[in-house]
Structure 1
């Protein structure tokens, strides 16, 4: 192993040489990453520590990933030295080419302008106003589950539909059904295309008429068309006598300032697509795994339900109830620790940098991995155990800020994190009050896509509690 003392290196970087994960002499860790990237990252940390180099691909097309696993290293990459770590890698470019240059993928002045225009629409007061829409869509899910065959539901599918309908309703108001149908049909095609190209060492141009390119282009055309139609209708409708519409698209259309102007139609579509992508898959993942884990741990489920019934009684939860349901919030945070919706976050280094005492060269692909940091034994004893009491205020105060970062961090932290927590707490409270959950699928394999994905069903047997 390389010497650990800090030193100046020939390429201008400072710090110790980064240890490498052993792999195939010809292809590195390519097959390991394809088979189980999250497990490969866990193994890299366990064998080599908090900064590890992982290679993948044949000579000449080989990718090198500099993996940063400590909380302190994640804070440096995402926050303290965020200007040195950009979204310039191939994976983000593929998302950009498919879903547009919205807030997830934009950079520099584009990002700053978008953030300034969008930020007023994500204040706590504004987001709290969406609580009623979330409660309505949760009630629709509860009603649908009354007819579940054999009393068994796939909570992964159920939460994906709930979260998609909630974000579509908040974005589009009354245009929910047509939008949800198109997103259901087109998103899987596009996301698989992004993943395949994002992780491939070489790709043919998108313009070539290959079957994969043609399928993806057709899905993008359909998705873009429905967004463009709704945007055009909003912009043509103007302000009704009853006052301006309160759906997010109407507010985005009206957003503007002397400094930043306003969004044109193409920019609006980019924001809408990113909000649809990031706004439903992430929350759905958190909710589904919360139910799965509670279905495996009836003692925690009973404790959470007791709090919900005691605080809410029979009334519909609202935004003010988030602070009144601390244990339920702890359950969600612990589920997001074990199953972070964004398990891996990528960046590209602008200049040679020392991270956690190790030399990262300029132009390197760098990843931080909530999946690994959330299991780091330095911060999380018995890390695979589900224990919501890890998130009492006292316990949280004892850990580094970036020991838990499911929403990213620094200046690029998720703008919708308050909405995600609002939606998750309201939905989980209503679901637990209505049903008792017992996990049928006790082992749910996962993989890292654009977001964390369950590879198979996540079924629970539900029993109505008459609430």
Structure 2
């Protein structure tokens, strides 16, 4: 699509006066509460602002775009002008490889062509029984230990990781899960710290942070390489049809198949994006229902009426509209990717303001999902915002939990399938009551809960 660039006919976006330390700009605001900083910037200064951070000589400037129309322009309408060339994506590349999340141009188009057939709705629906098995495993564990309270965000993180690892690796799930649980938090924190730092030491320097990241990096690569080598040796004659087997076979007929290093990079991206995002949606959906018993009762009524106690499958998703609305509202309030970064290739105009060539740009679902122009009483939990009629009345990019445009998340149907099945199975058997009514948050690669989200469990009677 052609890019609608300009040489600067718009005005320069304002710079918010936040904490306003002259030597550091908004560095401390972003470090202490980036999500709150973005909200305040929009409220006080409008839909396009500049935020500066760092001391003189190392100061960085980011242009923040908060309107639905601006998000559509960056992610879709002028996507070719806004690339994944910023420092944050480079840090992800160096830690997790150049997979589908970070690749660009010919690399991305080839990867997307090879991977897309594995993520059609028909293909993804075949994983429903594996998801249900993992949910059963989780809830059986609660019952076996007599759990009366659970931290739903923590528990859903474990569930989502096991589910995506099982679908990727099949019988190798246990070893892979243990290493990912140990290594991903180390690398995630490392990427976030370096991605937002105005100056960082080279990765080769033997600092404590670099050494910890290097050990985690080596462990992750080693387990992926071993499993990939075994699967490539087995070929399509191996047992099972896990996603890795399909990735190994992709492109073999025309000679465009992934090599071992490329396979590893795809696997790591799927593990990263496929469990943290779904875990956030699931955990906060449960926590919100636990805080709002009237909505939980509506979900129970729908489940009892539609499923009547049986295990849900892929065919049930369309028959559970209210549960789907609950998930969408949870993703509005707690989007797993609350800020999406790009870098402008050429100067362009957004909302009457000039975005210069080379500028770092952030669109924030965290802010747009709370924009009063699109959402009445935006902090209120209300699943009825996502009836078909309500959705049709809003601008397309008032809501973009999976990104948008040509780089929209390829796994969004898998995430919704897993989330609806898991919510349905947990709520069929349990009532939840929130213990922690507020959960402190942070934004790293994805939205992170900094504190517990504990809920009391009560078994439902037939």
State the TM-score, normalizing by the size of structure 2. Answer: 0.97
Identify the residue that residue 159 of structure 2 maps to in structure 1.
162
Identify the residue that residue 42 of structure 2 maps to in structure 1.
45
User: Contact conserved, 2:235 with 2:249, CA < 8 A, in 1?
Assistant: no
State the TM-score, normalizing by the size of structure 1. Answer: 0.96
User: Contact conserved, 1:69 with 1:368, CA < 8 A, in 2?
Assistant: yes
Matching residue within 260, 270, 281 for 2:265: 270
CA distance in 2, matches of 1:42, 1:137: 37
CA distance in 2, matches of 1:285, 1:239: 34
CA RMSD across the alignment: 1.3
Identify the residue that residue 4 of structure 1 maps to in structure 2.
none
User: Contact conserved, 1:53 with 1:66, CA < 8 A, in 2?
Assistant: yes
Contiguous gaps of at least 5 residues in structure 1: 1-7
CA distance in 1, matches of 2:100, 2:376: 35
In 2 relative to 1, CA 421–150 (structure 1 residues): closer, same or farther, beyond 3 Å?
closer
Are residue 96 (structure 1) and residue 93 (structure 2) matched?
Answer: yes
CA distance in 2, matches of 1:244, 1:400: 47
User: Contact conserved, 2:138 with 2:159, CA < 8 A, in 1?
Assistant: yes
**What do residues 130-184 of structure 1 show as CA deviations (whole Å, max 9, x unaligned)?**
0000000011111111145660001111100100000000000110100000001
Q: Give the SS at the match of 1:415.
A: coil
Identify the residue that residue 352 of structure 2 maps to in structure 1.
357
CA distance in 1, matches of 2:272, 2:160: 11
Matching residue within 426, 430, 440 for 1:431: 426
Matching residue within 11, 26, 44 for 1:16: 11
Are residue 455 (structure 1) and residue 450 (structure 2) matched?
Answer: yes
Alignment of 1:165-314 (within 5 A): 165-240=162-237, 245-256=240-251, 261-314=256-309
Identify the residue that residue 77 of structure 2 maps to in structure 1.
80
Identify the residue that residue 68 of structure 1 maps to in structure 2.
65
Identify the residue that residue 30 of structure 1 maps to in structure 2.
27
User: Contact conserved, 2:235 with 2:245, CA < 8 A, in 1?
Assistant: no
Identify the residue that residue 329 of structure 2 maps to in structure 1.
334
CA distance in 1, matches of 2:150, 2:166: 23
CA distance in 1, matches of 2:67, 2:145: 43
In 2 relative to 1, CA 150–143 (structure 1 residues): closer, same or farther, beyond 3 Å?
closer
Q: CA deviation at 1:451?
A: 0.5
Identify the residue that residue 321 of structure 1 maps to in structure 2.
316
Are residue 420 (structure 1) and residue 415 (structure 2) matched?
Answer: yes
CA distance in 1, matches of 2:155, 2:379: 25
Identify the residue that residue 393 of structure 2 maps to in structure 1.
398
Aligned residues: 456
In 2 relative to 1, CA 276–150 (structure 1 residues): closer, same or farther, beyond 3 Å?
closer
Identify the residue that residue 152 of structure 1 maps to in structure 2.
149
Q: CA deviation at 1:260?
A: 6.7
Q: Give the SS at the match of 2:394.
A: coil
